[in-house]
Amino acid sequence: MFSIWAIADLHLPFGAPNKHMRIFGPQWEEYTDKIKQSWLELVAENDLVLIPGDISWAMRLEEARLDLDWIGQLPGTKVLLKGNHDYWWGSLSKIQSILPPSCHLIQNNSFFWNGVNIAGARLWDIPGISFNEWIDFKDFACIKKINDEDHSEESQKIYERELKRLETSLKTMHSQAKLRIAMTHYPPIGANLEETEVSRLLEKYHINICVFGHLHNVKADREIFGMHNNIRYQLVACDYLHQFKPIKIADLSPF
C-alpha cells in the first residue's frame, strides 16, 4: 500500500531570504518548520506527494535550487506544478538539470506512477468566478479582492491559453490508469461547485480527483468545494490545511 498526499503554496524562502509570508498572518510564523515536521511524521518513502504550485519565492532558477533540494530531501515521490508566483520556472530541460531525482514536473505532459496518472496546468482566474466571499480580507491588505467585472482582454487570453495547456496535458494520460488526478494552481470550479469550462474539461477526461491551491486566508467556518459530477475538488493550500500538514487524498495498492 502507498498513500497520495497533497500540499500547495509552500512559498519556500530559502533561495530568496528577503521574502516571507508573515504579512499573511501569524499562522505563517516558522511555517517551513511546520511543513517539514508534519511531512516527516506523515509521508513514507514509497508515498506520492502532489505540490500544485507556488513552490518557491525565488526569481531565478539557480535561486530556486535551495528550495527544490529542500523538497527533494523529504520522503516520497513528488510531482510539481507551476504556480503564479513561480517566476523561476522556465523550460523543463533547464529545471530538470538541477531537479532532485525524487521530483517530477507537470507541464504539457502527465506523470504515470504505480497506476496513478497526474496531469494538470496552472490555470488562471476564471471569468465570472469569484472567491471573495470565502476570503478574510479584514487585516491583510496584501490579499487583493477580485473584481468580477474587471476581466481584461489580456486576462482572458491567459485563461484561454491555460485551458488549452490543461487539455494538452490531459490528452497524454494513460488509458489504463486506475486513478486519474488533475493538479491546477488556480481553482478550477466555483466555491459552491458552480460548473466551469475547466470542470467540464476534467469530466471529459474522466478525472477522479482535482487538487489545487492559490487561495489564502479562507474563512474557517465556511464549507468550500467538494464532490461534483464524480470528481472530488480539494483545496490544498498549506495554510488551509490543519497546521500546514499535507492532506491524504488516497490510499492505493501498487499497479
Phi, psi (degrees; rounded to nearest 5) at 6: -145, 145
pTM of the predicted protein model: 0.94
Least confident of 105-109, 152-156, 247-251: 152-156
Total structural domains within the chain: 1
Residues pairing with 227 in the sheet: 232
217: left (phi > 0), else alpha (psi -120 to 50), else beta?
Answer: left
Domain of residue 144 covers 2-252
What tens digit of pLDDT does each residue of 220-234 get?
Answer: 877 899 999 999 999
What tens digit of pLDDT does each residue of 36-56 get?
Answer: 999 999 999 999 999 999 999
48-52 vs 77-81, strand pairing mode: parallel
Cell numbers given for 125:
482566474
- In which residue are the cell numbers 488533475 written? 182
Cell numbers given for 68:
527544490
Residues pairing with 3 in the sheet: 251
Q: How confident is the model at residue 21 (pLDDT cuts 50, 70, 90)?
A: confident
Residues pairing with 237 in the sheet: 8
Name which of 200, 8, 208, 228 is nearest 117 in CA terms.
Answer: 208
Phi, psi (degrees; rounded to nearest 5) at 39: -60, -45
Q: How confident is the model at residue 180 (pLDDT cuts 50, 70, 90)?
A: very high
Name which of 85, 76, 84, 107 is nearest 16 in CA terms.
Answer: 85
CA distance 15 to 24: 20
What tens digit of pLDDT does each residue of 97-152 get?
Answer: 999 999 999 999 999 999 999 999 999 999 999 999 999 876 554 455 554 445 68
For the domain that residue 151 is a member of, what is the CATH number? 3.60.21.10
